[in-house]
Amino acid sequence: MYSDLMSATTSERLIEATRALLWERGYVGTSPKAIQQAAGAGQGSMYHHFAGKPDLALAAIRRTADEMRAAAETVLGGEGSAHARIEAYLLRERDVLRGCPVGRLTMDPEVIADDELRAPVDETLDWLRGRLAGIVQEGLDSGEFTGPLRAEEIASTVVATVQGGYVLARASGSPAPFDTAVRGLLALLAPLSPSPRTP
């Protein structure tokens, strides 16, 4: 029982250390030695739990992707109109200057070149576009949104605004460009929604 707990704890520490390093340094900059040091685990422990760096990185990326989905679903699956839920998603609290832990992986050539590592990234962004498109379609079907809108196009615009906002914020060293981009998109969407905004 005790050994199982210790085993799980070491595995968790390795995954969490890898997640943090991938976000900060990218795949190439995340060496097995750096992972072991950050996790407080030896080389033997790491290779006892994972076949190697790619195996550990995949577990870390999958967990990060799952967390991103859960955080998005918390607001997208909440109460309120379609516009209110999209607004809640766009305005939710983020560590803007660190960027998106999933989106940043799309700029990592090692991740993109590996089908297995890329899969959870692609699946998560695809899920997000699909989830947003479903909400926009709800708004269209109920008459909340009007005009010649395509749900998929609006959903892609929302995702592109968030991801592009991260890039602008990191480039300037300030969250202001992210906030400006998000509020600009909300201003464009607001006239489409005749229903009152959720305060």
**Residue 10, domain member (yes or no):** yes
**Residue 160, domain member (yes or no):** yes
* Better-scored residue on pLDDT, 19 or 189: 19
Q: What is the CATH number of the domain that holds 96?
A: 1.10.357.10
**Residue 130, domain member (yes or no):** yes
* Of the candidates 105, 6, 7, 128, the residue with the CA atom closest to the CA atom of residue 57: 105
- Is residue 143 over pLDDT 80? yes
* Of the candidates 128, 114, 16, the residue with the CA atom closest to the CA atom of residue 71: 128
| Domain total in the chain | 1
User: With bands split at pLDDT 50, 70 and 90, how would you rate the model's confidence at 185?
Assistant: very high
pLDDT digits (tens, 9 = 90+) for 108-118: 999 999 999 99
Domain coverage including residue 111: 2-192
* Of the candidates 95, 119, 92, the residue with the CA atom closest to the CA atom of residue 182: 92
* Better-scored residue on pLDDT, 198 or 104: 104
**Residue 198, domain member (yes or no):** no
**Predicted pLDDT at 194:** 54
